Copies of this chain bind each other. A is one copy, B any other.
Amino acid sequence: MPALDLTADIVSLTAALVDIPSESLDEQVIADAVEAALRELPHLEVVRDGHTIVARTSLGRPERIVIAGHLDTVPANGNLPSRLEGGVLHGLGTCDMKGGVAIALQMAATVPEPVRDVTYVFYDGEEIAAEFNGLGRLARERPELLAGDFAILMEPSNAGVEAGCQGTMRADIRTTGERAHTARAWMGSNAIHALAPVLDGLNAYVPRMVEIDGLTYREGLNAVAIRGGVSGNVVPDEAVVTVNYRFAPDRSEEQAHQHLQETFEGFGLTITDSAPGALPGLSHPAAAAFVEAVGGEVNPKFGWTDVAQFTLLGVPAVNYGPGDPTFAHKADEHVPVEHLHRVRDRLEKWLTT
């Protein structure tokens, strides 16, 4: 088992984590290494659940915060091992999100008496289907481990605070018709042609812009798949367009569903996938204090992240981590060394003053 030196400089620690491959469902080695390193620290209580490790201070502080990051990555794409070049650390997971995990681990080791009690969570199965998500598993089965006044998810956010996240919902819109030979098409009814008003509606759709806690969320409604057809000489009797609705966190999943039903009134609509948004929660004192401490501009998060898991537990949460998220899942994934230092230093300052 590789041994992790949590007190090494933050770039070396990130590189060490990157160089332990940990594709989703294959997190045992990295989870063992993280658990072993944390168990060395007498000021932390360590709990393991599957390949998810929870480590907590218990100093009796009036507030408790949660700092979380996932240990898994998408599959490698010729981008291992890590490589440091010109102030940038390259490699799988540098951005999403072993840089953030390294910073959290370093805080766990080097800040034994934080001014707020801290629960560190290092979890598995984030990059694949929701059922494998270790944070979701804890939220369902051991929510007491995630209790807190405020949570920081160290997903890449360009070393700035991204607050809340939009919800996402996928729906199939289905048209039906009647089959006929295309040589006698007038005897049938073409389900693909019947999709025209759905596509017209998507083109005419004006997404909402919503301001919440001073942040502007921009919604979106997009076709992500379309299919239909029986054979080259048959008028098709079924066609389906799948839409993805990204909705601002002032709307519940139920309201989002209702909005889709109104938008596509008269068409068969089936929800196939859904996850709620998360309100930015910046009005909470702990969140406001955090934003003030780390400084910089706060932006809304458009993509869906695990902050929504905390929202469902009633814990305000933000994304704050090193790396540009647009490089996540790319072969040229990387993290600027400057991001690693900046996020590390500001988090340390917030935990100690």
Task: Name the one of B185, B192, B242 contacting A226, with C-beta atoms under 8 angstroms.
Answer: B192
- Give chain B nearest CB distance to A108 CB in angstroms: 31
A82 CB contacts on chain B under 8 angstroms: none
A229 CB contacts on chain B under 8 angstroms: 223-227, 242
Q: Closest 3 interchain pairs by CB?
A: A225-B229, A196-B199, A192-B223
Docked pose: A183 CA to B170 CA in angstroms: 12
- Contact indicator A182/B224 (Cβ below 8 Å): yes
- Contact indicator A202/B196 (Cβ below 8 Å): yes
A226 CB contacts on chain B under 8 angstroms: 192, 195, 226-229, 239
A193 CB contacts on chain B under 8 angstroms: 199, 202-203, 222-223
- Contact indicator A304/B196 (Cβ below 8 Å): no
* A to B CB contacts below 8 Å, 22 in the list: A168-B233, A182-B244, A183-B302, A184-B220, A185-B246, A192-B202, A193-B202, A193-B222, A193-B223, A196-B202, A223-B229, A224-B232, A224-B233, A224-B234, A224-B235, A225-B228, A225-B229, A226-B239, A227-B227, A227-B229, A232-B242, A232-B273
* Chain A 163-220 residues near chain B, CB threshold 8 A: 166, 168, 170, 181-186, 190, 192-193, 195-196, 199-200, 202-203, 218, 220
- Give chain B nearest CB distance to A60 CB in angstroms: 40
Task: Name the one of B200, B225, B230, B304 contacting A200, with C-beta atoms under 8 angstroms.
Answer: B200
* Chain A 270-303 residues near chain B, CB threshold 8 A: 273, 302-303
Residue A353 at the chain B interface, CB threshold 8 Å: no
A224 CB contacts on chain B under 8 angstroms: 182, 192, 229-236
- Contact indicator A236/B223 (Cβ below 8 Å): yes
- Give chain B nearest CB distance to A176 CB in angstroms: 14
Residue A241 at the chain B interface, CB threshold 8 Å: yes
**CB closest chain-B residue, reference A239:** B226
Docked pose: A305 CA to B107 CA in angstroms: 78
Q: Select the residue from A170, A193, A203, A225 with max chain B CB neighbours within 10 A.
A: A193
A246 CB contacts on chain B under 8 angstroms: 182-183, 185
- Give chain B nearest CB distance to A80 CB in angstroms: 24
Known contacts: A224-B231, A231-B224, A304-B183. The answer to whether A200 contacts B192 by CB under 8 A is no
